Structure 1
Amino acid sequence: MGGARHEGGREDGIRQLYEAGVSISELARRFGYDRKTIRSALNSSVEEKQGERASRGERKKGSKLEPYKDYVKQRMQLGVLNAVRILREIREQGYTGGITVLREFMKPLRPVVSAKATERYESDPGEQAQIDLGAFPYYDSHGQRRTIWAFAMVLAYSRMLYVEFIKAADQLHILQALRNALEFFGGVPRVILSDNCSSLVVANDGQGHVDWQPAYLDFAKFYGFVPKACRPRRSQTKGKVERPIRYIRDNFWPVAFVDEADLNRQVAWWRDHVANVRIHGTTHEQPIVRFQAEKLQPLPATPYMLACAGLRKVMSDCRVSWNTNLYTVPWSYVGHTVLVREFESGRLQIEYGGQVIAEHRVLPGKHQISTDPRALQEPPSGHRESSAG
């Protein structure tokens, strides 16, 4: 590190900040050196410290970590690989050592992770936001493997993050989360970039033509943003949000939670007290501070009321299938195609020819049956046989 080694303990200052959790990129920015120089300073500082300890016959480095090693191993086995997060957790338990010892202990225990370079696209304030979903498996209280989905939205300029866990990756839940995100940010970006999930995109030819789901187009028109989809098999163009999904996995997940509401309370605290106040590795600023310069469009006076609709054919047992559950309709509609409409209030309507022919409450879970009393009336004698024929 050239002359920096003789500038009044500059290396000691770098090492102390690094052990406190400051990243190499941030150290390079603060001290005006490139990252290779910072790494060289850290390595030489460690070598000198090891030599001093060896000459004094001290115990090997890492003794302060000894009582916490089992805990660190347990967290890593659960998928927590972020050293800064584990440092925060063990310091709450009384650990007084630095992060260097912790990182050296964790290094041989980490799985081999390969990463591809991602081309970055920087945006003007208020210009773009990016959304994505990530599947987060867990085991419930009965030991059954379940999956919950993290919806993440990032403002591309400030890197301000919104995250919400939803129980299903269907259109209704995605648009509910997107509406919540816009209300959280207090405004609307001009463009929202997404992947090609079937809840939003019908087809994408990769040449600029996207066939959008009508409900998503209507939602975008109401809020005044332009929907944009990344090219098929090129999700790296959405890198600003792909990295936060990984960040959520590393820095927040896994956690113990009672239900979806409890999980979202926890992630909201983490979002506000950790994710959006950290020094971002790319912008070198806190997202909450950079957010003040965003230029978002105003929200509509009233929120968009959501419903999800689709066509279904009535089966011979007077039922239609909707999201793995069955709902009954009157016998006279057997064989006909009907419109099923699910409202965010939890009400489900089945329509034919513009008329509501059955109403239900949306069933929780899967493979259940809901019966409308109107469907219990027996058809005229011989009707079912003739219908089946």
Structure 2
Amino acid sequence: MCRTKTVVRRHVAPGEAVPLHPEAVGFAGHYDFAIDVLAAYRPTGKGRVERQVLIVRDHVLSGRSFSSVEEMDAAFTTWVPQRRAQAHRTHQQVIGERAARDHVALKPLPPTPYLVAERHLRPVGKDCLVAFGGNLYSVPARRVRPRQLVEIRATKSQIMLHSTIADSSGETLLATHPRAIGRGVRVVEESHWDGLPTGKGRRTTTGDALPPPRRERPRGEETGPLRALPNRAAATHIEVGRRPLSVYDELTGTRPFTTHPSTRETS
């Protein structure tokens, strides 16, 4: 198999184990085959696969023109029996006979096809909703807890939410929803909210009894430490001492300040 990004996660040095894409590993496990990665820069390793493109081009398409896809398919269907009647140049067996033996050796397909889906991890909110693609999808409240990581498997038409840990029966599927169109859509199954707090235990006001109104004290009747603080009305009756400016000069030891004989007093 070639080293495409859908199969190989990153390139490594020769001799090291190649890290495979998880989706490719799941696909191979579903159809029961092993992935054998081709060595890097080895075009001859897959020549037998790409050679079929050149054969069809040279024997069916070359030198011809088609007006529709149906006409091209008809030309290919006419050519296939001619090709299968020929002997293959590598194993020298008739192509049609070898193909019949190969088909018998193949295993039957699984009853269900492999589902190709995007896979993402998302946390569960307190309201049991999971955000994906700008929309919200519900999961059962009794099977998850807030901030728990769940795996989202998204297809073009469906959203499947799986737990990262299987339950006692080995099941991981939590919920399945149709994929919402647009953004800002809430896709909720009402039964998923069973188990969330309903608010019945919270204290609520009934309006039967109101607390007594608070009596405001008139000014001047404050008690405690506030009583020592003068209010605006009491401050107008406080006597302010008056002294000449020379008193401040004597206290600071500075040169006396000469003023007009009628020295003003300050408060």
Structure 1 and Structure 2 fold alike (TM over 0.5)? no
Q: Which has the larger radius of gyration?
A: 2
Query: Under a length normalisation based on structure 2, what TM-score does the superposition of the two structures give?
Result: 0.43
Query: Under a length normalisation based on structure 1, what TM-score does the superposition of the two structures give?
Result: 0.32
Which structure dedicates a bigger proportion of its chain to strand?
Answer: 1
Which structure dedicates a bigger proportion of its chain to helix?
Answer: 1
